Amino acid sequence: MSSNSLDLLRPGIHLEGQQHSQRQTRVIGIASMIWGASILLSRVMGLVREQIIGRTLGASRQADLYFASFTLPDFLNYLLAAGALSIVFIPIFVAHLQRGDNARAWTSFSIIANFIVLICMFGIAVLMIFARPLAALVAPGIVDPSEFDTLVRLTRIVLPAQLFHIVGGLLSAALMAQNLHTLPALAPLVYSAGIIAGGLVGIVYPDLGAEGFAWGVLIGSIAGPFAMPLYGCIKSEMRWLPLLPVKDPDLRRYLWLSVPIMIGFSIVIVDEWIVKNQASYLAAGNLAHLQYGRTLMKVPIGMFGMALGVASYPTISELVTTGAVVRAYALLCRAMRLMLLLTFAAQVCLTVAGFEAVYLIWGLAAHRFSLADAQDTATVMAFLCIGLSGWAAQTLISRGFYALGSTWLPTLVGTAIAILMTPAYVMLRERGGAIGLAIASSAAIVLYVMVLGWLQRRRFEREAAIRGTALDESEGMLRVTLLLAVAAVIAIGLGLLARFELLLWLPGVDAGTVLARATILCTTSLCVYIATIWLFRVHELEEIQALLWRTFRPKHTTGAPATDEDQAQAGQRQTN
């Protein structure tokens, strides 16, 4: 995201304090550019990583075992609320910095970090000891003794990496609280590089199988998520003290905000666990197809959902803190509408040209990832993509609750959805195999986002009423969401019809043919999508067009007279 994109996130109302607003914009602009570039590069490296995994392990039982080995480590990560470390810890750390009490800020860091290290080491030890019986629960469908032994061994290699991920997350939060984003943003790239290096070693020594990737996970977690932010904190005069007073108010606040995330089993987290558990009952390769499809789907989720979430969250939090909840909700809604416009476009491309994308990444010139694997992965991904916008939307909706200081409600709703939908995963797996699991996953996240979005609107309405205002003037999200969904359905339908015709005169799976077919399918389908939302008068399209025009139009040379159009636009900006 460029700093210009921030113009799209500003509520269309006057903000007081021009200098503060400009400083706020600059800070978010820098952060959004850093994280936008990092997320894009991380997703590209992630695809390279998955490509190497696909070419090395293919859609084999070894790949199934490798992906299943992350379930227990991910569970530990989830229990310690590592995914919410920055959201929970940053306000605590920033509060001390704003008072000029840097010493107290690092004391709070030390107390919370020491607590996390002790709990994490204990958790790793317990899971190491009981890895074998727990692995039977994780993947009950894997009954072959040698395969089961491999799963246990891979799990024990990956488990210690969580210590470095979790502590590194806290170190990164301390840096981001000081508006130091570069090293935290680069850490995931180093992590992916470690996995890639491990996979390349596995190629040289084929007997390693999936173990090369597992060791790469461990080494990458040390070098990236832990070592890089640690270096940054040391440069920022970090003081990590051997303190652990259990009655410390900051530790208690951290635990209070984290407990709902720790004890709840939100569908956002457990969806992947349930899918892996149920996929273990299917034939070899089905779990790999699901995982490869999910990996490709995560590219637009990260680029649009996460980037907008990270960039807008500090501003939303500040507006809520100052009592401007109407402006905060307007900002959240605008960010959501823009994100949905982009993610539905991504869904169109991944659905109509899914086979081409999968084959170019994993199947081209690969021996262990067959043409049938590419077709199966693309089919599964098309059904996973039904929930693509839901996965991206939850990154923004959850931050709206966190800005309000509410971590319990999203977790309770997510846990209720998980309990309600678990039988559906089982039933759809029995009836539809991997496709059934993809449908269940999409239905669960869409239901979660719909319920949570409605509850969030109600919560902001109450907050506005307390302050004597109302949200009536805010446009909201539902109408635009439905229009974009209809436009995506029309584009996908026409794109699939065009696909059948295109395959008749442009068959083949060589690189040039596949790339040409993907280009034609994506271009024509996106044109239909854009034309449809233009007919629906979705004004966010005009905002994106204006952003692109400002970004890419030729700049006037110094001293050159401005055109009438430029003067009119300048006058309009001053009026706004």
- Where the chain has pLDDT below 70, the residues are 1-40, 42-43, 46-47, 50-51, 54-56, 58-59, 81-86, 179, 202-204, 206, 261-265, 307-314, 318, 365-367, 472-475, 544-576
Burial of 322 (0-12, 13-18, 19+ CB in 10 A): exposed
Q: Tokens 């932010």 identify what position?
A: 229
Query: What tokens appear for 81 in the block?
Result: 């609320």
Q: What are the extents of the domains in the chain?
A: 1-13+264-554, 61-244
286 CB-side CA count, 13 A: 20
pLDDT of residue 33: 56
Give the whole-angstrom CA distance, residue 318 versus residue 555.
34
Q: Which structure tokens are listed for 136?
A: 């039977």
**pLDDT for res 502:** 93
C-alpha–C-alpha distance, residues 385 and 442, integer Å:
7
Q: Kindly give the residue spans of alpha helices, DSSP state H, lying in 322-407.
A: 325-352, 354-358, 371-384, 388-403
Q: Residue 562's pLDDT is what?
A: 44
Alpha carbon separation from 299 to 127, 241, 346 (Å, rounded): 31, 39, 9
Question: How many helices (DSSP H) and strands (DSSP E) are in the chain?
Answer: 24, 0
**Which letter does DSSP use for residue 43 in this model?**
H
Looking up tokens 């025009």, which residue turns up?
A: 549
Look at residue 335 in the predicted model and tell me its pLDDT.
84
d(CA 528, CA 535): 11
The residue behind tokens 């940053």 is: 90
Q: How far apart are CA 529 and CA 295, in angstroms?
A: 24
Contact 216, 194 (CB under 8 A): yes
Give the pLDDT of residue 535: 93
The fraction of the chain above a pLDDT of 90, given in percent, is 31
Asked if 316 and 403 touch (Cβ cutoff 8 Å), the reply is yes
Check residue 18 and give its pLDDT.
46
26-36: per-residue pLDDT in tens?
Answer: 544 455 555 55
Distance CA 475, CA 483 (A): 14
3-state SS class at 233: helix
User: Do the beta carbons of residue 127 and residue 134 sit within 8 Å?
Assistant: yes
**Residue 220 corresponds to which tokens in the numbers above?**
């990458």
Task: Tell me how far apart the alpha carbons of residues 391 and 65 are, in angstroms, rounded to a whole number.
Answer: 25
Quick one: pLDDT at residue 559? 44
Q: Residue 331's closest CA among 11, 2, 36? A: 11
